[in-house]
Structure 1
C-alpha cells in the first residue's frame, strides 16, 4: 500500500466507519493483503471477507455500509460550499443558481437558546479536534473579520487536519515528510490560524454579499436574514485591493495523493480545498452535552438527538466567542490568535496519552472556558 493511502484508509475507518483507532491500525495490513485500501474498494467487498478480517459481523457490516455511503457520496455531484438538498432541510437549499449570499446563509452556525446561567453549569462531551475547530472558527471572526463563514470554516478545518497529521506522526501512525514539507504548497499565500501557518487560495471572484434578498415575499418588508449580516458574511470589501479576499484552506495532502487522479477530488482553482460544509457537519456531529450522551438512544428520536447536539455546539461557540470578544479590544490580532491556542490547551478534554488516547472523547466544562475571560 502506498504511504499516502494509509492515512486515508485510517481516516475512513476511524471517522466514517467509527472503528476504534487501535483496531483500525491493527487491521490495516490485512486490508492491504485483501486489496481493500479505499472506501470504494471496501464498498464492493464481500461481507464475509470483512468479517474474516475483523472477526465481528457487526463491525464488518458497519464498515461495509460506511464504504457504500462514502462511495455513493463521492459519485454524486455537489457544490464545494453547499450541502446536498437532502441533508439541508433546515437551511437554504443550495443549487447551481444559488447566490453567494445564499451559500453563506446556509453555512451559518447555530445560536444557543439556553439562558446564560445554564451555560455556566453545562458540560459538553467531545474529542480534541472538534474543540480546536470551534476555537479556530470563533477566533477568526476577530483576527480575520473580513472573512465570511465559509472561509472561517475552511481555514479552521485546514488547521485541524494539519494538527491531526502532526499528532499522527508523533504517535508513529504516519511517517515521512508532509505535503507542505515536500513543497506542495509552494507559491500559495500563508495565513496564521492559532499560531500555525495555513496555505490558502484566494477567491478573487467571490463576493459573499452578492445576491441578498431585499424584501420578504409576503410583507414587502426587509428580510430578517439580512440583519446580522456581518456575523456570517464578514466585513470585507471585495473591491478593496488592500484587504484580503475570501479564502479557502488548501488541502495539500489531497493535492499530493491525487496527483493524476484529479477527477476524484473536490477542487477549486486547480487545488483541493477543505470545504466549508464538511467542516460544519463535522462540528455539529462531534459535540454533545453530558445529558445527551448519558440518555438512552432508544428514548429519543434521531431528530431530538440532532437538535440537542446543535444546541451543545451553539452553547460552546457562544462561550468561546464571549472570551474572544472580551479580549479583542485589548489584544492585537496576532496576540489574540496566539492566546487562543493557549486557551484551548487549558480546557481541552483530558484523555489518555499515546495511540490509545487519540480520538478519545472527554468532558469540557463551559464554566472553565468562561473563566478565560479573566485569563492573565
Structure 2
C-alpha cells in the first residue's frame, strides 16, 4: 500500500471507527505516522503509553485502541481498512482546466430585460428556486468567493434545508449534521442557515494556476504526508466548498479517495452539478387551451434546453435586480436574512405534507421585482 493510501486509510479509521472528530483526527495522523502506527494492527501491538504519547490524551488513546480491537475482530484479514478499488476512481476532466478556465465554464445566463422578466411566469419546484436565490445573494454577501464556491455553498444550503424538511415529514431519519466527525469543521450561514464548509487554500481563480488543497489547518497531499496549509494571506479569505454531509453520513465518515478534486478526499457539493441542475429546473408556464389537441399540449409543455436556459436567465435576472436594489442600504448579514423572507414570499405554492414534496408550481417573476426597494 502506498504512503498516501495508508494516510487516507488511517484517517478513515480514526473518524469512522474510533469516532474522533474530523478536525481532531487530521491533527493526529501526522503524530501516528511518526510513531509508525499507521493501521489498526500496528496500534494493537503498541502499548497504551506509546499511544498516549502519540495522541496526547489517555482518553483518546483508549478510544483508538478499543476501535482497533473492534475492527480487527470484524475484519481480521483486511487489517481493519477497506479502500476503494482503482477501477472506481474515475478521472475528472475538470481537473485539467486552470482555475480561471474552470470558473469561466460555470458562468450562468442572467437577463437584464426588465420588461420580459416582469411578464414571465415559470414552472418549477421549491429547491431550484432556493438555489437560484442562494447563488445570486452570495454574489453580494460574499463577493470574494468565486462562482464555483457560490454554487457549491448554495447547493449545500438547499440540501440542508431539504434534509430538515424530509426529517420533519418522516421521509428520512436524522442526517449527518449531528455526527461527531464534523465537529471542528468551519461553518458559515447562507440564507440564515448554517452549513459546514471546506477552505480551499491557494485557489488562484483570479489569475495564474496553482495547486489547491482543501480544509484547514491540514490536508492530505499526494506525497501521503500531512502538510500544514494554515499559512495564507489574511487580507484574502480562502475560497470555500460546501461539505456534503449526506455523503459523509452514507459513507459512515470521510469519503477517502472520492473524486472531488479538492485535495482532501472529503465529499463536496460540485459546482458543475449545481449549475446543470439550475439549467434543467425552470420551464415557461403555458396557459391551458381547451381548443388544442393532446399533441399540441404536449409540445407546449416541453421546453428544450435553450428555452430552459432562457427561463433560468430571467429568474436569475429578477433576483439580481432585487439584490441590487437593496445592496446599498443593507449590510451583508441583513441582506442574507432578508433574502430568505423574499424566497418564502415568492416560492411555488404546493400541497401540505408529503404530498407537496417535490411538487411543482408557478412562479411569477413580477412578484420578485415587486420586492425591490
Structure 1 position 156 matched with structure 2 position 149:
no
The TM-score, its normalising length taken from structure 2, stands at 0.64
Q: Which residue of 177, 180, 200 corresponds with 2:177? A: 180
Is the CA contact 2:254–2:266 (under 8 Å) kept in the aligned structure 1?
Answer: no
Is the CA contact 2:89–2:257 (under 8 Å) kept in the aligned structure 1?
Answer: no
Is the CA contact 1:249–1:274 (under 8 Å) kept in the aligned structure 2?
Answer: yes
Q: Distance in 1 between matches of 2:202 and 2:288?
A: 43
Q: Which residue of 247, 253, 256 corresponds with 1:254? A: 247
User: Deviation of residue 240 (structure 1)?
Assistant: 3.4
Distance 1:162 1:261, change over 3 A: closer
User: Deviation of residue 186 (structure 1)?
Assistant: 1.2
Distance 1:250 1:192, change over 3 A: same
Structure 1 position 276 matched with structure 2 position 300:
no
User: Deviation of residue 97 (structure 1)?
Assistant: 3.3
Larger Cα-atom Rg: 2
Structure 1 segments unaligned to the other structure (5+ residues): 1-73, 85-93, 213-237
Q: Distance in 2 between matches of 1:200 and 1:97?
A: 24
SS of equivalent residue, structure 1 residue 184: helix
What residue number does 1:106 align with? 105
Structure 1 position 135 matched with structure 2 position 130:
no
Distance 1:299 1:147, change over 3 A: same
What residue number does 1:243 align with? 236
Distance 1:78 1:210, change over 3 A: farther
Distance 1:102 1:198, change over 3 A: same
Distance 1:136 1:165, change over 3 A: same
Is the CA contact 2:181–2:253 (under 8 Å) kept in the aligned structure 1?
Answer: no
Q: Which residue of 163, 167, 187 corresponds with 1:165? A: 163
Q: Distance in 1 between matches of 2:309 and 2:339?
A: 23
What residue number does 1:97 align with? 96
Q: Distance in 2 between matches of 1:129 and 1:202?
A: 25
Is the CA contact 1:254–1:265 (under 8 Å) kept in the aligned structure 2?
Answer: no
What residue number does 1:190 align with? 187
Is the CA contact 1:249–1:273 (under 8 Å) kept in the aligned structure 2?
Answer: yes
Distance 1:263 1:369, change over 3 A: same
User: Deviation of residue 157 (structure 1)?
Assistant: 0.3
Is the CA contact 1:184–1:256 (under 8 Å) kept in the aligned structure 2?
Answer: no
User: Deviation of residue 251 (structure 1)?
Assistant: 0.7
Structure 1 position 288 matched with structure 2 position 283:
yes
User: Deviation of residue 261 (structure 1)?
Assistant: 8.6
User: Deviation of residue 241 (structure 1)?
Assistant: 1.5
What residue number does 1:45 align with? none
User: Deviation of residue 298 (structure 1)?
Assistant: 6.8
What residue number does 1:308 align with? 307
Cα displacement string for residues 135-191 of structure 1 (whole angstroms, at most 9, x for unaligned residues):
000000010010010000000000011000001011111123x31212332111111
Distance 1:297 1:188, change over 3 A: farther
Runs of 4+ residues over 6 Å off in structure 1: 292-295
Is the CA contact 2:149–2:242 (under 8 Å) kept in the aligned structure 1?
Answer: yes
Cα displacement string for residues 18-66 of structure 1 (whole angstroms, at most 9, x for unaligned residues):
xxxxxxxxxxxxxxxxxxxxxxxxxxxxxxxxxxxxxxxxxxxxxxxxx
Q: Distance in 2 between matches of 1:211 and 1:297?
A: 51
Q: Distance in 1 between matches of 2:296 and 2:333?
A: 44
Residues matched between the structures, number: 259
What residue number does 1:352 align with? 351
User: Deviation of residue 211 (structure 1)?
Assistant: 4.2
Structure 2 segments unaligned to the other structure (5+ residues): 1-86, 210-230, 290-294
The TM-score, its normalising length taken from structure 1, stands at 0.63
When the two chains are superposed, the root-mean-square deviation of aligned CA atoms in Å is: 2.8
